[in-house]
Chains A and B, each alone.
Chain A
Amino acid sequence: MSILLPILLALACAPLAYVAGRWRTGAAAWVGASGALAALGVLAHGWTQGPARVVLPWAPTWGLSLEFTRDGLSGLYAAMALGVGALVVVYSRAYLPHHLAEEGRSPREEVRFHELLLAFMAAMVLLVTVDDLLLLFVALDLTTIVSYLLIGFDREDPESRAAALLSLVLTGATSVVFFAGAMTLGLQYGTFSLPLVIERAASNPASTGALVCLAVGALGKSAQVPFHFWLPRAMAAPTPVSSYLHSAAMVAAGVFLLQRLYPLFAPATEVRDGLLAIGFLSMGLGSLMALVADPFKRVLAYSTIAQYGYALVLVALGSEGAPLYVAIHAPCKAALFLTAGAVTQVTGKKKLSEVGGLRHSLPVLAGASAVAAAGLSALPLTAGFFKDEVFFHALAKEGPVVMAAGLVGAGLTLAYTLRLWWGLFGGPRRDVPAAPRLLVAPVVVLAGLILLGGLLPGLLVAPARAAAETMRGEPSTLELAYHLDARAENLLAVGAWVLGAALFATRRAWTPGLSRVLRRTALLGAERGYRLLLHLLDRLSTWLHEKEVRDLRDRVASVLVPTGLLGIAVLGVTPLRARFMVGTVGWADVTLVMALAFASAAALATLRAKGHLMLVLLISCVGFSLAMVFAFAAAPDVALTSVLVETTFTLLFAGLLALLPEARLRRAQKESQKPRGRDRLAAGVAGASAFLLSWSALSHLQAERVGQRTVELAEAAHSPNVVAAVLTDFRGLDTVGEMSVVVAALLGVTSLLGLKKGRR
């Protein structure tokens, strides 16, 4: 139960915020944040009791169950989602009223925002605590859907809507690929339960295809190359969304998945090599873009791409520091995003070139964000130092090339972080009104945490080790401490700082050239490919729609003809012995055959019928002939019903003809053109296919019939009429369904006839 309690609390936050918001708009945020903190408290308490699992039966016959786990990985990520979530909700309490007023929307909508944010938090907690492949996918899609609503929160803004759609399409499509991978694994191992899958994978490694599918899902979520471009666009969202989704939650989900499934990836070195390359690529690309981007939220977005590239490298190398890296990055990035939002709210500006010199007016914010920036660029005395230490530690084992790449990446990180902070707070003094305290407080809290982790690294060891143990399935020996010696990690860190400082000092020299180069390469980038694909799909769909809607006849024929051809093709390839049987015609069948001939003749005659009344009469002639067939075929119930229905139908049809204007009927009759050749062809193909399929079916009737059993059972049903017994006793549910169809159709008929003339 103690496993489920934090999950249930997290799930309850959004409804509680709704209820509180009904009472008073401002209360929603406080109730939601306290709910999140309560969940965090319960989680921390459960943490002291060690790992545990709980399995609730869901659909046991299909081998499905709801499985939740409490282990190092889920604890770390859930704490991150809940803690940052609570702070962001408090921050939005101060941010949203101003934002909504600027957009000209009702202040009541703030409640909706808190609900969505808390719902996202719940989805995230669910994602990290489930222990089942299918549930992983479900939670993953929940985060996708809620993030769509959050990114598109400013629904009047077309850019915001487009960004939301882009993120939905990309992360949704890649999570479908993830689903394919999960299904493949489920089929391979005969279970979706994650511990069982991992246990069976030890002796029977997972197929490369499945692993690639899982990795694609994770890469899309974590905004890695080539799916990275949705993240900068998503910056159109209100800043609290960016600071939550794009630091601690949504983007972390992808890397989390890879860590959760790491035991499957461990033996597949080629897949991990691919991930390593993608990680380095994302690092480089994200860092370079962050160096030249002007809107400061974009700088942070590109930095996120780069930082999750680091995390991906760590996972690909199987480093035990991977979970710690993500956990330390989250508060740094969230604090910087919150700073960006506060600056935008105070100054109304969104670009680095438009602000600067704010350190005098916003001293607390400047100080706190300096700590966060130092954490992001891994300076000592902040927790961030250790994220780069584990990174360099992992690289040091891999040889000089990888080490050099890591050094350049870390140097770029320092350079763009310096550029960002200096762009906001450095430079000539500029005076602006003070920021509301509630906007600054969460940044200060996060900065305090970052400092605490840097001063007392021992606090980080236990959760980091627990998470690493869950990820790699073996005891972890992770150590975090400052060492004042010339080990490779320290040399790399110093090298990175020197490189970063040098890059920052000489930035005026290379910025224009770099931005020009990046703009050129963007022409070949993945985003362009995506747009081209979208454009082509759009054109194809328009073309098909125009083609299809142009003529109802083509629409019908385009369904019937391929289906008919498919039926014939199926007959061609199915090996059935004695496929077609002619059957015998005895004297008793003569009446039957005559009635059938009559029906056929009437049906053929309808094709040539001139007037509408004639048409109706011929149609009912077909129906009555068939009733006759049923009577001769010793099916009196069917025959009786048929006669009754035909009579009613003929009357109804005649009534309709009376309702339709005479002139229009005559004109329609005159205008209906001669049949086109291809209509005849379509009818021929469809008819031939129907004929062949029914012939084949009727030739293969089983001697053993269900009917014989029902005849025996009819006695138990106390019904001398077996058909009635079947309808009411044996297939009662069918009859209920039939009744509902009839009732629905009759309701439709009466409401359609009852509509006033001229109304549509």
Chain B
Amino acid sequence: MRVENVFRVIGYALLVGAAWLLYWFLHSHFIFVTLVALVLAVPASVLVNLILYRFVSVEITAAVGGDQYGRQYGESFFYIRVKNPSWLVSLDAKLDLEISNDFFKTEGKTRIAVPIRMRKGYEVSFPVRAMLPGIVTVRVKRILIKDLLALTTLSKRVDASASVTVLPREGDPFQYDKTALEIGMLESEESSKRGNDFSDVQEIREYIPGDKLMSIHWKLSAKRDILMVKDRVSMSDHQLVIVPELMSDHAALEQIMAATYQSICTIIEDGTTVRLLYWSAGSYDYVDTRIDYRADLDAAFARMFYEKTYEANDEAALHMAAVHPEMKAFMHITVDGGNVICYIRET
């Protein structure tokens, strides 16, 4: 417990002092009653607050309006519930919040003053508009409860949080240079569409979550009693691979995310499978995701938002020759001179 405002305490003391002075001078019953009420009000207010403090708890949940993910520029909702099963009240409780975007590594602090009603507490609907994609987290760190006379404050630690994944906004169809890409696209596209597989198996390994079902080597899995997958190498020289750079610069990263999302949207709407390859600075390897549908794309971005960003604008492209020597060309999405560029880069 701490004294909230010294001046308020002094002011209240002066009020009591004035009442006492009048009582001393007039010896009036009315002034006496008032004086007693003023004096008793202080312990009563503090006591009410102490009891209330024991009962109060905080919960937070998130919602994005019937969708699994939030959308950039759209609203996401966090519901903060201050629960109070007691019959006591506080007119001034403060919630200390931390709001962050984990992908863009931004963070801010906010304090919300709310009332705590009898029995029901209070629920704050906290609509947030994410201007950047990523994972937006709202965390309630503590609650400060003021007594009714606002003389003292009790601080209660709370650790409740909720997150919403915010995907880039859906913009205009992405315009890209198809002529260069189509050279290498046709075979894989056709084979994918026909159900034939012209690729060679490069390696057989254990299943990793995220692997496609069609890559599972069912026969071998049955034998070994563990899921095994076939890593394939396309027989074709050209593949539909998109490699975005996860740059730490906020403006660049926002543009790259938007361009990557739009381009994959456009391409998969054309019925073409896309392979999203991005550089994971944490695991020092590529994360390779096959995308056929919008749901694949959203899930891939949701995973990508957990990655660490880096400074260079060609980090992912640089490692390509070493890690994926078989990759002849890919669509590189990066920033140059402050503008996003998407071009076919040959290794």
Do A and B pair up? The answer is: no
Residue ranges of A at the interface with B (Cβ–Cβ < 8 Å): none
